[in-house]
Structure 1
Amino acid sequence: MYEHYKFQLEPLPYNYDALEPWIDSQTMMLHHDRHLRAYVENLNAALEGYVQYQGLTLQQLLVYPLNLPPKELSKVRNNAGGVLNHQLYFTMMRPGGSSSPCPRTRSALERTFGSLEAFQDIFIQTALGQFGSGYAWLVCDPQGRLKVLPTANQDTTLPMNLYPILGVDVWEHAYYLKYKNKRADYLESWMQIVNWDVVERYYNAYAK
């Protein structure tokens, strides 16, 4: 993806059917090629008339003060969040998943939540408890302290100075074709395809 305007749709890091049987190929195609593409195109359209902000990255668009009318600011922030959240989500999965968290991440999870199993339970319950559309995130602060929290719609944790290292999309378009209204089944399956190598990379990048 380009670092700034005009943003482009970043390809999936695997084939559409690579996550089956946990996530079906039709869901992946629609999620990436339609939903994410729409956020990219809408973000570019929202920034088209604002040259002063076209050099900002996604992260900067979400954090820096933008002198925009409220309606235009909402368009930029919602669509920038949609692009960032989806790109993170797609990178946090891989075919077959990773067998377990890498050493530094596992140690931090056990220190914070007591065990990997306890973390997974808290994470899934947080995702189940998100009313309507949104995400559940495992985030860290600059000191490396971990926390699980939800965000609504395409909000991000960056304005809170919290960096997402693992996140699951609980908008219905992420799972409804296969799981219908059974969000819990989707979440249990999703935990089988977590790319813990990427989680470790994000954790090492953000935690001092």
Structure 2
Amino acid sequence: MPFSLPELPFNPETLSPWASAETFFYHHGKHHAAYVNKLNAAIEGSDLMNQPLEEIIAKTRNNQPGIFNHAAQHFNHDVFWRSLSTELQKLSADFEAKLAYNFGSLTAFRDEFTQKAAGLFGSGWIWLVQLSDGKLAIHQYSNAETPAGTDVRGLLPLDVWEHAYYIDHRNDRGKFIDGFWEHINWRAVEERLTL
């Protein structure tokens, strides 16, 4: 069964000025759509065609970069869209305590995430992840890399490819990162945790 482009779980006009409807038109409607279409074309007629997305990512990570890149980017974007909110949300007390336990404080978590997002050279993703031992960490992933298909569970991604922010912020990645904190769907992030 072919993969499909997920609908955005929000009205794309409601996250402006952080991300405009024009940005979503290109980012979701062109970039993400192209990853899905190229993934479907690449796996058509193969034994990967009926595999779950994370299985495809795991099987192609080291030997089929064309398929891997499109599958990973589909996964990364899908989780990214579902991690966004049109309204500022508060973290639950339990999740805030978990972040404080792992990073020292909520502020320290935010500072480390922001620093890693700003410091990633070139294109890629920043993820809050849950390690196999249950601890939380922040990982930088270059290009299409992803925690999917590994023993690391992705909780919260931020896309720092230029196409994510260039229309609205030009080369000011820092402004894009700062605005991200006002648009996180913390409930969706918490639901990804394994307790």
Task: Give TM-score, length-normalised by structure 1.
Answer: 0.89
Gaps of 5+ in 1: none
Q: Deviations over 1:36-89 (max 9, x none)?
A: 000000000000131x211111111111368x9x5xx11111000010000011
- Richer in helix (by share): 1
Work out whether residues 73 and 144 of structure 2, in 8 Å CA contact, stay in contact via their aligned partners in 1. yes
Deviation, 1:18, is 1.5
Residue 142 of structure 1 is aligned with which of 125, 132, 144?
132
Give the AA of the match of 2:168: K
Shift of residue 141 of structure 1? 2.0
Q: Where does residue 115 of structure 2 map in the other structure? A: 125
Match for 1:64 among 55, 59, 68? 59
AA of the residue aligned to 1:108: K
* 1:103 CA displacement: 2.6
Q: How many matched pairs?
A: 195
- Which of the numbers 174, 181, 184 marks the counterpart of 1:194? 184
Deviations 1:138-191 (A, max 9, x none): 000233210001101111113441111001000000000111111001100111
Matching of residue 179 in structure 1 with residue 169 in structure 2 = yes
Q: Which residue number corresponds to residue 96 of structure 1?
A: 87
Cα distance in 2, alignment partners of residues 164 and 146 from structure 1? 10
Whole-angstrom CA distance in 2 between matches of 1:58 and 1:97: 30
TM-score of the superposition, structure 2-length normalised?
A: 0.95
The answer on whether the counterparts of 2:39 and 2:70 sit within 8 Å (CA) in structure 1 is yes
Choose which of 27, 43, 59 in structure 1 pairs with 2:39.
43
Q: Are the counterparts in 2 of residues 138 and 147 from structure 1 also a CA contact under 8 Å?
A: yes
Contact 1:42 1:79 in 2 (8 A): yes
Q: Does 1:87 align with 2:78?
A: yes
SS of 1:53's partner is coil
Structure 2: give runs of 5+ residues left out of the alignment. none
2:131 maps to amino acid? D
Give CA deviations for 1:106-162 in whole Å, capped at 9, x if unaligned. 111000111111100000100111111101110002332100011011111134411
Instruction: Say which is worse superposed, 7-16 or 102-111, in terms of deviation.
Output: 102-111
Contact 2:60 2:68 in 1 (8 A): no
Identical-pair percentage: 33
Provide the C-alpha distance between the structure 2 equivalents of 1:157 and 1:124, rounded to a whole number of angstroms.
19
Residues 54, 149 of structure 2: 8 Å contact kept: no
